[in-house]
Structure 1
Amino acid sequence: MRKLHMKMSMSIDGFVAGPNGEKDWLFKTGDAQSKAWAAEQTWDAGLIIMGRKSFEVMAPYWPTSTDPFAAPMNEIPKAVFTKKGFKGFDPGNSPSPAATSWANARVFDGDLAGEIRKLKAEQGKPITAIGGAGFMRSLIATGLVDEFRLVIHPVVLGAGLPIFDGLAMPLYLKLVDTKVFPGGTIVHTYGI
Protein backbone atom coordinates (compact mmCIF):
# COMPACT_ATOMS: atom_id res chain seq x y z
CA MET A 1 0.00 0.00 0.00
CA ARG A 2 1.36 3.38 -0.92
CA LYS A 3 1.06 6.58 1.06
CA LEU A 4 -0.75 9.79 0.15
CA HIS A 5 1.23 13.01 0.67
CA MET A 6 -0.37 16.43 0.44
CA LYS A 7 1.95 19.27 -0.57
CA MET A 8 0.49 22.72 -0.10
CA SER A 9 1.93 26.20 0.02
CA MET A 10 0.29 28.62 2.43
CA SER A 11 0.71 32.02 4.00
CA ILE A 12 1.67 32.53 7.64
CA ASP A 13 -1.99 33.20 8.39
CA GLY A 14 -3.08 29.88 6.87
CA PHE A 15 -4.38 30.79 3.41
CA VAL A 16 -3.44 28.84 0.28
CA ALA A 17 -4.62 31.60 -2.06
CA GLY A 18 -6.02 35.10 -1.89
CA PRO A 19 -9.79 35.68 -1.69
CA ASN A 20 -10.14 35.35 -5.48
CA GLY A 21 -7.64 32.52 -5.86
CA GLU A 22 -4.57 34.76 -6.25
CA LYS A 23 -1.27 32.91 -5.96
CA ASP A 24 1.22 35.49 -7.23
CA TRP A 25 2.69 35.76 -3.72
CA LEU A 26 4.13 32.24 -4.08
CA PHE A 27 6.61 33.42 -6.69
CA LYS A 28 7.80 36.38 -4.62
CA THR A 29 8.82 34.43 -1.53
CA GLY A 30 10.81 31.40 -2.70
CA ASP A 31 14.55 30.97 -3.01
CA ALA A 32 16.80 28.58 -4.94
CA GLN A 33 17.10 26.10 -2.05
CA SER A 34 13.36 25.92 -1.36
CA LYS A 35 12.66 25.43 -5.06
CA ALA A 36 15.28 22.67 -5.27
CA TRP A 37 13.70 20.94 -2.25
CA ALA A 38 10.23 21.17 -3.82
CA ALA A 39 11.47 19.72 -7.13
CA GLU A 40 13.19 16.87 -5.26
CA GLN A 41 9.98 16.13 -3.34
CA THR A 42 8.04 16.06 -6.60
CA TRP A 43 10.43 13.42 -8.02
CA ASP A 44 9.61 11.19 -5.03
CA ALA A 45 6.02 10.78 -6.26
CA GLY A 46 4.77 7.82 -8.24
CA LEU A 47 1.54 9.65 -9.09
CA ILE A 48 0.52 13.31 -8.92
CA ILE A 49 -3.16 13.96 -8.22
CA MET A 50 -5.13 17.18 -8.45
CA GLY A 51 -8.59 18.58 -9.02
CA ARG A 52 -9.96 19.49 -12.45
CA LYS A 53 -9.45 23.25 -12.12
CA SER A 54 -5.75 22.90 -11.26
CA PHE A 55 -5.28 20.34 -14.02
CA GLU A 56 -6.80 22.65 -16.62
CA VAL A 57 -4.39 25.43 -15.60
CA MET A 58 -1.30 23.21 -15.39
CA ALA A 59 -1.70 20.93 -18.42
CA PRO A 60 -1.08 23.59 -21.09
CA TYR A 61 1.73 25.22 -19.08
CA TRP A 62 4.12 22.44 -18.05
CA PRO A 63 4.86 20.73 -21.40
CA THR A 64 6.65 23.85 -22.71
CA SER A 65 8.04 25.17 -19.42
CA THR A 66 11.76 25.39 -18.68
CA ASP A 67 11.13 25.65 -14.92
CA PRO A 68 13.02 23.11 -12.74
CA PHE A 69 9.63 21.57 -11.88
CA ALA A 70 8.83 20.88 -15.53
CA ALA A 71 10.67 17.55 -15.77
CA PRO A 72 8.95 15.84 -12.81
CA MET A 73 5.60 17.48 -13.59
CA ASN A 74 5.75 16.16 -17.16
CA GLU A 75 7.24 12.72 -16.49
CA ILE A 76 5.33 11.52 -13.41
CA PRO A 77 1.90 10.02 -14.18
CA LYS A 78 -1.05 12.19 -13.24
CA ALA A 79 -4.66 11.74 -12.17
CA VAL A 80 -7.42 14.34 -12.18
CA PHE A 81 -10.51 14.31 -9.97
CA THR A 82 -13.69 15.98 -11.13
CA LYS A 83 -17.29 16.38 -10.01
CA LYS A 84 -18.40 18.46 -12.99
CA GLY A 85 -17.04 16.51 -15.95
CA PHE A 86 -13.75 16.80 -17.75
CA LYS A 87 -13.06 17.43 -21.43
CA GLY A 88 -9.49 16.14 -21.24
CA PHE A 89 -6.31 17.70 -22.54
CA ASP A 90 -5.59 17.79 -26.27
CA PRO A 91 -1.82 17.80 -26.88
CA GLY A 92 -2.25 19.02 -30.49
CA ASN A 93 -1.15 17.54 -33.81
CA SER A 94 2.47 16.85 -32.92
CA PRO A 95 2.42 16.07 -29.22
CA SER A 96 5.63 16.03 -27.27
CA PRO A 97 6.19 13.27 -24.71
CA ALA A 98 5.53 15.91 -22.02
CA ALA A 99 2.15 16.90 -23.52
CA THR A 100 1.25 13.23 -24.01
CA SER A 101 1.81 12.56 -20.30
CA TRP A 102 -0.85 15.18 -19.51
CA ALA A 103 -3.19 13.86 -22.20
CA ASN A 104 -2.89 10.36 -20.68
CA ALA A 105 -3.87 11.45 -17.16
CA ARG A 106 -6.27 9.12 -15.40
CA VAL A 107 -9.67 10.71 -14.78
CA PHE A 108 -11.79 9.93 -11.71
CA ASP A 109 -15.32 11.23 -11.33
CA GLY A 110 -16.70 8.89 -8.68
CA ASP A 111 -16.51 8.84 -4.91
CA LEU A 112 -13.28 10.61 -3.91
CA ALA A 113 -12.60 8.46 -0.83
CA GLY A 114 -13.25 5.22 -2.71
CA GLU A 115 -11.01 6.20 -5.62
CA ILE A 116 -8.21 7.31 -3.27
CA ARG A 117 -8.40 3.98 -1.42
CA LYS A 118 -7.99 2.14 -4.74
CA LEU A 119 -5.01 4.29 -5.73
CA LYS A 120 -3.37 3.76 -2.33
CA ALA A 121 -3.82 -0.02 -2.73
CA GLU A 122 -1.75 0.00 -5.93
CA GLN A 123 1.96 -0.75 -5.88
CA GLY A 124 4.43 2.06 -6.36
CA LYS A 125 5.93 5.21 -4.95
CA PRO A 126 3.79 7.61 -2.88
CA ILE A 127 0.93 9.65 -4.30
CA THR A 128 1.41 13.42 -4.09
CA ALA A 129 -1.64 15.68 -4.01
CA ILE A 130 -1.27 19.24 -5.28
CA GLY A 131 -3.76 21.83 -6.37
CA GLY A 132 -6.40 24.20 -5.18
CA ALA A 133 -8.23 24.81 -1.92
CA GLY A 134 -11.47 23.04 -2.86
CA PHE A 135 -9.79 19.80 -3.89
CA MET A 136 -7.54 19.83 -0.83
CA ARG A 137 -10.47 20.41 1.56
CA SER A 138 -12.30 17.47 -0.02
CA LEU A 139 -9.17 15.32 0.23
CA ILE A 140 -8.60 16.22 3.89
CA ALA A 141 -12.24 15.34 4.64
CA THR A 142 -11.64 11.75 3.41
CA GLY A 143 -9.21 11.15 6.30
CA LEU A 144 -6.88 9.35 3.88
CA VAL A 145 -3.93 11.78 3.78
CA ASP A 146 -0.89 10.15 5.42
CA GLU A 147 1.43 13.14 5.39
CA PHE A 148 0.94 16.91 5.13
CA ARG A 149 3.84 18.87 3.66
CA LEU A 150 2.90 22.45 4.46
CA VAL A 151 5.18 25.01 2.84
CA ILE A 152 4.75 28.19 4.88
CA HIS A 153 5.71 31.33 2.93
CA PRO A 154 6.80 34.54 4.71
CA VAL A 155 3.70 36.52 3.77
CA VAL A 156 0.50 37.49 5.58
CA LEU A 157 -2.49 37.75 3.23
CA GLY A 158 -5.10 38.92 5.72
CA ALA A 159 -7.86 37.05 3.88
CA GLY A 160 -8.06 34.18 1.46
CA LEU A 161 -8.86 30.53 0.92
CA PRO A 162 -8.04 28.08 3.75
CA ILE A 163 -7.90 24.29 3.47
CA PHE A 164 -8.44 23.31 7.10
CA ASP A 165 -11.79 25.01 7.63
CA GLY A 166 -15.02 23.10 8.13
CA LEU A 167 -13.47 19.97 9.64
CA ALA A 168 -16.01 17.69 11.34
CA MET A 169 -13.57 17.12 14.21
CA PRO A 170 -10.06 18.17 15.20
CA LEU A 171 -7.24 16.67 13.14
CA TYR A 172 -4.31 15.81 15.41
CA LEU A 173 -1.00 15.67 13.60
CA LYS A 174 2.53 14.70 14.54
CA LEU A 175 5.42 16.91 13.41
CA VAL A 176 7.95 14.64 11.66
CA ASP A 177 10.25 17.17 9.99
CA THR A 178 10.96 20.89 9.63
CA LYS A 179 13.07 22.61 7.01
CA VAL A 180 13.97 26.30 7.04
CA PHE A 181 15.15 28.02 3.86
CA PRO A 182 17.21 31.24 3.48
CA GLY A 183 14.33 33.24 1.96
CA GLY A 184 12.14 32.59 5.01
CA THR A 185 10.05 29.71 3.70
CA ILE A 186 9.56 26.94 6.28
CA VAL A 187 8.33 23.44 5.52
CA HIS A 188 6.45 21.62 8.26
CA THR A 189 5.90 17.95 7.53
CA TYR A 190 3.18 16.31 9.61
CA GLY A 191 2.10 12.69 9.85
CA ILE A 192 -1.09 11.26 11.25
Structure 2
Amino acid sequence: MRKIITTTWVTLDGYIAGPNGEMDWIGEIYDEAMGLYESELVSEADTLLLGRVTYQSFAGSFSRTLESVEWNNSTLRKEVVPEEIEQLKQEPGRDMLIYGSASIIQTLTNHGLIDEYQVLVHPVILGGGKPLFQNIQHQVKLKLVNTKTHPSGVVVLSYQPNHFP
Protein backbone atom coordinates (compact mmCIF):
# COMPACT_ATOMS: atom_id res chain seq x y z
CA MET A 1 0.00 0.00 0.00
CA ARG A 2 1.21 3.50 -0.81
CA LYS A 3 2.07 5.89 1.99
CA ILE A 4 0.79 9.40 2.50
CA ILE A 5 3.65 11.67 3.55
CA THR A 6 3.19 15.28 4.62
CA THR A 7 5.88 17.92 4.33
CA THR A 8 5.17 21.15 6.12
CA TRP A 9 7.27 24.22 6.84
CA VAL A 10 6.65 25.59 10.30
CA THR A 11 8.19 28.25 12.54
CA LEU A 12 9.73 27.41 15.90
CA ASP A 13 6.54 28.61 17.58
CA GLY A 14 4.38 26.30 15.45
CA TYR A 15 2.94 28.56 12.76
CA ILE A 16 2.74 27.81 9.04
CA ALA A 17 1.89 31.41 8.12
CA GLY A 18 1.75 34.80 9.76
CA PRO A 19 -1.46 36.50 10.97
CA ASN A 20 -2.25 37.72 7.43
CA GLY A 21 -1.10 34.57 5.65
CA GLU A 22 2.41 35.88 5.03
CA MET A 23 5.13 33.30 4.40
CA ASP A 24 8.04 35.59 3.61
CA TRP A 25 10.06 33.96 6.40
CA ILE A 26 10.55 30.88 4.19
CA GLY A 27 12.43 32.62 1.39
CA GLU A 28 14.96 34.04 3.82
CA ILE A 29 16.09 30.55 4.81
CA TYR A 30 15.68 28.52 1.61
CA ASP A 31 19.08 27.29 0.40
CA GLU A 32 20.62 24.67 -1.90
CA ALA A 33 20.32 21.92 0.73
CA MET A 34 16.61 22.68 1.12
CA GLY A 35 16.19 22.52 -2.66
CA LEU A 36 17.88 19.11 -2.75
CA TYR A 37 15.65 17.85 0.08
CA GLU A 38 12.54 19.02 -1.81
CA SER A 39 13.70 17.44 -5.09
CA GLU A 40 14.37 14.07 -3.44
CA LEU A 41 11.03 14.11 -1.64
CA VAL A 42 9.04 14.90 -4.78
CA SER A 43 10.95 12.32 -6.84
CA GLU A 44 9.81 9.52 -4.50
CA ALA A 45 6.12 10.36 -4.96
CA ASP A 46 3.81 10.08 -7.94
CA THR A 47 0.82 11.87 -6.44
CA LEU A 48 0.57 15.36 -4.93
CA LEU A 49 -2.36 16.33 -2.71
CA LEU A 50 -2.57 20.12 -2.59
CA GLY A 51 -4.92 22.53 -0.88
CA ARG A 52 -6.03 25.75 -2.51
CA VAL A 53 -3.31 27.98 -1.06
CA THR A 54 -0.54 25.54 -1.94
CA TYR A 55 -1.95 24.93 -5.42
CA GLN A 56 -2.13 28.69 -5.88
CA SER A 57 1.52 29.11 -4.97
CA PHE A 58 2.46 26.22 -7.27
CA ALA A 59 0.24 26.95 -10.24
CA GLY A 60 0.10 30.72 -10.10
CA SER A 61 -3.68 31.00 -10.18
CA PHE A 62 -6.70 29.31 -8.65
CA SER A 63 -10.28 30.12 -7.81
CA ARG A 64 -13.12 28.62 -5.76
CA THR A 65 -15.11 28.78 -8.99
CA LEU A 66 -12.48 26.86 -10.93
CA GLU A 67 -14.18 24.09 -12.89
CA SER A 68 -11.09 22.40 -14.33
CA VAL A 69 -7.34 22.19 -13.76
CA GLU A 70 -4.64 22.63 -16.35
CA TRP A 71 -2.08 20.21 -14.93
CA ASN A 72 -2.02 16.78 -16.59
CA ASN A 73 -3.56 13.94 -14.57
CA SER A 74 -5.09 16.40 -12.07
CA THR A 75 -8.46 16.26 -10.36
CA LEU A 76 -10.21 19.22 -8.76
CA ARG A 77 -12.16 18.71 -5.54
CA LYS A 78 -13.91 21.42 -3.52
CA GLU A 79 -13.36 19.42 -0.34
CA VAL A 80 -11.29 16.51 0.88
CA VAL A 81 -13.13 13.19 0.66
CA PRO A 82 -11.24 10.76 2.94
CA GLU A 83 -12.80 7.72 1.27
CA GLU A 84 -11.34 8.79 -2.08
CA ILE A 85 -7.92 9.26 -0.48
CA GLU A 86 -8.14 5.82 1.13
CA GLN A 87 -8.96 4.36 -2.29
CA LEU A 88 -5.93 6.14 -3.81
CA LYS A 89 -3.73 4.57 -1.12
CA GLN A 90 -4.86 1.13 -2.26
CA GLU A 91 -3.94 1.73 -5.90
CA PRO A 92 -0.50 0.71 -7.19
CA GLY A 93 2.12 3.40 -7.36
CA ARG A 94 4.65 5.35 -5.36
CA ASP A 95 4.00 7.39 -2.25
CA MET A 96 1.58 10.31 -2.14
CA LEU A 97 2.84 13.67 -0.92
CA ILE A 98 0.90 16.42 0.80
CA TYR A 99 2.93 19.56 0.32
CA GLY A 100 1.88 22.22 2.82
CA SER A 101 -1.93 22.20 2.69
CA ALA A 102 -2.78 22.26 6.41
CA SER A 103 -6.50 21.76 5.75
CA ILE A 104 -5.84 18.46 3.97
CA ILE A 105 -3.39 17.36 6.67
CA GLN A 106 -5.95 18.11 9.38
CA THR A 107 -8.75 16.21 7.64
CA LEU A 108 -6.59 13.17 6.87
CA THR A 109 -5.12 13.20 10.40
CA ASN A 110 -8.66 13.02 11.78
CA HIS A 111 -9.28 9.96 9.58
CA GLY A 112 -5.99 8.21 10.42
CA LEU A 113 -4.70 8.34 6.84
CA ILE A 114 -1.31 10.03 7.32
CA ASP A 115 1.63 7.61 7.36
CA GLU A 116 4.45 10.10 7.95
CA TYR A 117 4.70 13.72 9.01
CA GLN A 118 7.80 15.59 7.86
CA VAL A 119 7.91 18.90 9.71
CA LEU A 120 10.57 21.41 8.67
CA VAL A 121 11.13 23.62 11.71
CA HIS A 122 12.52 27.00 10.68
CA PRO A 123 14.60 29.12 13.07
CA VAL A 124 12.01 31.91 13.11
CA ILE A 125 9.49 32.99 15.75
CA LEU A 126 6.41 34.79 14.41
CA GLY A 127 4.54 35.33 17.66
CA GLY A 128 1.19 34.60 16.01
CA GLY A 129 -0.41 33.34 12.85
CA LYS A 130 -1.96 30.18 11.43
CA PRO A 131 -1.04 27.03 13.38
CA LEU A 132 -0.34 23.74 11.62
CA PHE A 133 -2.92 21.72 13.54
CA GLN A 134 -6.43 22.97 14.29
CA ASN A 135 -9.62 21.02 14.96
CA ILE A 136 -7.85 17.70 15.52
CA GLN A 137 -10.48 15.33 16.90
CA HIS A 138 -8.23 12.88 18.74
CA GLN A 139 -4.76 12.56 20.14
CA VAL A 140 -2.21 11.10 17.72
CA LYS A 141 0.89 9.61 19.31
CA LEU A 142 3.96 9.78 17.11
CA LYS A 143 7.32 8.05 16.86
CA LEU A 144 10.35 10.04 15.70
CA VAL A 145 11.88 8.11 12.77
CA ASN A 146 14.42 10.58 11.39
CA THR A 147 15.98 14.00 11.87
CA LYS A 148 18.06 16.11 9.55
CA THR A 149 19.63 19.51 10.13
CA HIS A 150 20.24 21.84 7.20
CA PRO A 151 23.05 24.44 7.15
CA SER A 152 20.38 27.17 7.30
CA GLY A 153 19.30 25.93 10.73
CA VAL A 154 16.13 24.26 9.46
CA VAL A 155 15.56 20.93 11.20
CA VAL A 156 13.49 18.23 9.49
CA LEU A 157 11.64 16.06 11.99
CA SER A 158 10.04 12.91 10.53
CA TYR A 159 7.34 11.21 12.58
CA GLN A 160 5.13 8.18 12.03
CA PRO A 161 1.90 7.64 13.95
CA ASN A 162 2.13 4.86 16.55
CA HIS A 163 -1.50 3.90 16.13
CA PHE A 164 -4.91 5.29 15.37
CA PRO A 165 -7.99 5.20 17.61
Shorter-chain TM range is 0.7 to 0.9
TM-score between the two structures when normalised by the length of structure 1: 0.75
- Does the 8 Å contact 1:85/1:109 carry over to 2? no
Provide the residue aligned with 1:27 in structure 2.
27
Cα RMSD for the two superposed structures:
2.1
1:183 aligns with 2:152: yes
Distance 1:53 1:180, change over 3 A: closer
1:39 aligns with 2:19: no
Paired with 1:37 and 1:14, the residues of 2 have a C-alpha distance of 21
Structure 2: 5+ residue runs without aligned partners? Answer: none
- Does the 8 Å contact 1:34/1:181 carry over to 2? yes
Q: CA deviation at 1:35?
A: 1.9
Q: CA deviation at 1:113?
A: 1.0
Q: CA deviation at 1:109?
A: 4.5
1:147 aligns with 2:116: yes
Distance 1:143 1:86, change over 3 A: farther
Provide the residue aligned with 2:136 in structure 1.
167
TM-score between the two structures when normalised by the length of structure 2: 0.87
**Percent identity (aligned):** 32
Paired with 1:22 and 1:178, the residues of 2 have a C-alpha distance of 27
- Does the 8 Å contact 1:16/1:160 carry over to 2? yes
Counterpart residue identity of residue 113, structure 2: L
Distance 1:35 1:104, change over 3 A: same
- Does the 8 Å contact 2:51/2:102 carry over to 1? no
Structure with more strand by fraction:
2
Paired with 1:16 and 1:60, the residues of 2 have a C-alpha distance of 20
Aligned residues: 160
Paired with 1:160 and 1:109, the residues of 2 have a C-alpha distance of 24
Paired with 2:38 and 2:102, the residues of 1 have a C-alpha distance of 19
Paired with 2:80 and 2:59, the residues of 1 have a C-alpha distance of 23
- Does the 8 Å contact 2:9/2:122 carry over to 1? yes
Structure with more helix by fraction:
1
Structure 1: 5+ residue runs without aligned partners? Answer: 62-81, 91-101
Q: CA deviation at 1:162?
A: 1.1
- Does the 8 Å contact 1:88/1:103 carry over to 2? no
Q: CA deviation at 1:122?
A: 0.7
